[in-house]
A and B are shown apart, each in its own frame.
Chain A
Amino acid sequence: MVTKRTQNTTSAVYLLLLLALSIIVLTGCGDSQGQDPAQFSNNKTVTANTNASGLSDFEMKNGIGPIKQIIELSALDMKLAKQGEDIFLSKCASCHKLDERYVGPAQRNIFERRSPEYIMNMMLNPEEMYKKHPEAKKLLAEFMTPMPNQNLSFDEARSILEYFRKAGNEK
């Protein structure tokens, strides 16, 4: 791990807060984003099955972090995607291009490799992902520069996800 230090307790508190915030935000936004607020209100899909990494099947597929439920994606929201593009340009584009390997991997084809939930968890919880998830570990070993935690809100990360969807459709 090459970041200077991490505060596990603090991170945990933040994750809980983030989860709580996600619930509040989603409840507030309701159907405007075509999602069921109840999706995030409990953790029932986390199963007891674990593999060699000590992760559940859900975590293996979808990453570790505040996203513990399947995100149902509906029709592409162009407005949300535009918001996501703006945030991406400010907080991510120093290291990620759409079509070429840069400091980090190219992002346009991200859906071919990762689930939406995994992408969200990676954006919102990079430190823990690098520590515990075999895929994230592999990527760190390949790129050597860990993806910084840019302290995105759930909504910001969700809008970036929408931007990736839009970008993926364009090619």
Chain B
Amino acid sequence: MKPSGNFFLLTFIVAVIIVSYIGCNNSKQSFSGDVSSQVYVAPGTYDEFYTFMSGGFSGQMTVYGLPSGRKFKVMSVFAQNPETGYGYSEETKAMLNTSYGFIPWDDAHHPQLSQTDGVPDGRFVFINGNNTPRIAKVDLKEFETTEIIEIPNSAGNHGSPFITQNTEYVIASTRFSVPIPQNDIPISSYKENFKGSISFIKLDPKTEMMNLEFQIIVPGFNYDLARGGKGPSGDWAFFTSYNSEQANTLLEINASKNDKDFIAAVNWKLAEKYLKEGKARTMPAEYYRNYMDHKTQTAVSVKNTEVKVLDPKECPGMIYYLPTPKSPHGVDVDPSGEYIVAGGKLATVIPVHSFSKMIKAIENKEFDGEIQGIPILKYESIVAGEVKDPGLGPLHTEFDDKGYAYTSAFISSEIVKWKVGTWEVADRIPVYYSIGHLNIPGGDSKKPWGKYVIALNKITKDRYLPTGPELTQSAQLIDISGDKMKLLLDFPTAGEPHYAQSLPADLVKDKTIKFYKIEENMHPHATKKEKDSRVERKGNEVHVYMTAMRSHFAPDNIEGIKVGDEVYFHITNLEQDWDVPHGFAVKGNNNAELLIMPGQTRTLKWIPSKAGIHPFYCTDFCSALHQEMSGYIRVSPQGSNVQLSYSLGDNK
């Protein structure tokens, strides 16, 4: 280890300690005026914005209202959810299939709203799974996950899922480079053998289904975040990278040596053209695509076996490297599409590249060498400006509608507001503490609604009542409508609120559905009339076709089940009304409960392990006779001769 590395590390640690200390002392700031009225949303009235927050290590995504900070829903994405039975019910298990088998957890980081012409359109919100590389699509008509695609040749799917300006593609880059294809080789052969990948997932405009259209194999750096261009830069997408040193151990030091790393600028239109011309190589790759079949209300897994791969060496003009100080994290394109702002975690300035200068530098071949067929542009030729004194550890930038940019500074725990074009700092506000991403409604789009910025903080220390060693995670709402930023609200969030995206509620709320039409339920095990409810035995499989209606199940007495039977409860909720799900739980089930939406069929598998009487009941309260929404199943020992029977009331 070199002394300079040690020195840097030490300085860094001391800086963090000092800043944290100062931050803590300042945390009880006083408020001028009545800010509570600005976040008060009276009972029975609606918030102005939806905000979609990543659930981080919970693997889910959470919906909040702004400005109130009220939590509305946890949307199940990459993790099983016993609250609803997502990932437990027979219909939803397939959503979590991967080439590694059934994976009921992931690390979800970056919500991304779909856009039309560079503006959020309220159709979908996408989110990435970092750990087992996946991208999910959540349909905002239902607020449910309707598709998940696995990304092959990727590890640590961090730089995703960002989109092009009409959601033509959902893009993804790999944080960890790995051998492509995978191979059992020494880790120390990193430089020779490890590669990165950038993936383009096409969203079919008609079917709205995702397909991994192509991948670009890139040098073995760590790719971190991405943004699609817009307006003039609409044909391009930008990806930050760090570890251009290509280190494979103690990255904290060894990946922090170079003064500049790179933003990879990818011309996706040109890549598309090369793909059409047959420049891609087809390579074997195993990955799953899972989607919810709306007719059968059941998830389907499709296994893919190959992927089309482009090599930059064979595709001139497809990628350029923009040198960028230093270990850049965020890469953010301003509403005009001209400026590309990097957040150099270890940089002392915020570098801003100019798209038009970049194009000119490409035309004039103002290169500073190349790496594996990718030309490096001269920093001086492309940089539009640098924001001086931007706080320590600038990470991520979003924009308002008045020409200002807002950058989160992780180490100094603050948000810094600066003017696009003059690069001068206009304002700064402390946040509590260790802010990662920030979010302005539409702040990554052509049309920001520049009313609030949300700080997504990693540490909450003394901000809330303590709850043991682990404190609540937190977001902070800051008013940016005036010249000075003004803190309005702290609100606890599901951990970890890594990033969020927000949009006006009007773009979503009137399009949501209230129930699934029972007539359209083509589930193979649906029971659409109470009189069709029944129990059938097939060998040791027992299928219970049950209906649920306020406030009873049919049937509610079942006998003739035996220990070790595989019992499938296929329950259809016959309600056709808003907000009347029914629950189903049975004693001793080593699974979960079900939450069945109106008009939906869901199946819970149960293998009874003990003889005796097992009650089942509805878990979701909907009427005064909720307690009465229950029944009994008699389980007899294996080999007993109790006949299969079922009933409801006295008339069966």
Contact = CB atoms under 8 A, between A and B. Distances in A.
A113 interface: no
Nearest to A8: B44
Given A144-B625, A146-B623, A90 B529 contact: yes
A90 B518 contact: yes
B547 interface: yes
A91 interface: yes
A23 interface: no
A150 interface: yes
B577 interface: yes
A24 B577 CA distance: 24
A93 B515 CA distance: 19
A151 interface: yes
Interface in A76-92: 89-91
B625 A90 contact: no
A94 B547 contact: yes
A89 B530 CA distance: 7
Contacts of B625: 144-145
A48 B574 CA distance: 40
Contacts of B623: 2-3, 144-146
A93 B530 contact: yes
B73 interface: no
Residue with the highest number of chain B CB atoms closer than 10 Å, among A94, A95, A102, A145: A94
A144 B622 CA distance: 12
A146 B515 contact: no
Interface string A5-25: 100000000000000000000
B528 A94 contact: no
B554 A145 contact: no
B579 A94 contact: no
B550 A151 contact: no
Main secondary structure of the interface of B (DSSP, over half): loop
Contact of B549 (A2, A4, A95): A95
Interface string B547-574: 1011110100000000000000000001
Interface string A139-171: 000001110111110000000000000000000
B529 A2 contact: no
A151 B549 contact: no
B577 A5 contact: no
Nearest to A95: B549
Contact of A148 (B580, B621, B624): B580
A103 interface: yes
Contacts of B147: none
B520 to A, nearest CB: 12
Interface string A39-74: 000000000000000000000000000000000000
B575 interface: yes
Given A94-B547, A144-B625, A145-B624, A150 B530 contact: no
Given A91-B518, A144-B624, A152-B576, 16 more contacts: A2-B622, A2-B624, A3-B580, A4-B579, A89-B531, A91-B574, A91-B576, A93-B530, A94-B552, A146-B550, A148-B576, A148-B580, A149-B576, A150-B575, A151-B515, A151-B576
20 contacts: A3-B623, A5-B579, A89-B530, A91-B518, A94-B549, A94-B574, A95-B549, A102-B649, A145-B551, A145-B624, A145-B625, A146-B550, A148-B550, A148-B576, A149-B576, A149-B577, A150-B575, A150-B576, A151-B576, A151-B577
**Which 7 A-B pairs give the minimum distances between C-beta atoms?**
A94-B549, A94-B530, A150-B576, A151-B576, A2-B624, A89-B529, A149-B577
Interface of A: 2-5, 89-91, 93-95, 102-103, 144-146, 148-152
Interface of B: 514-515, 518, 528-531, 547, 549-552, 554, 574-577, 579-580, 621-625, 649
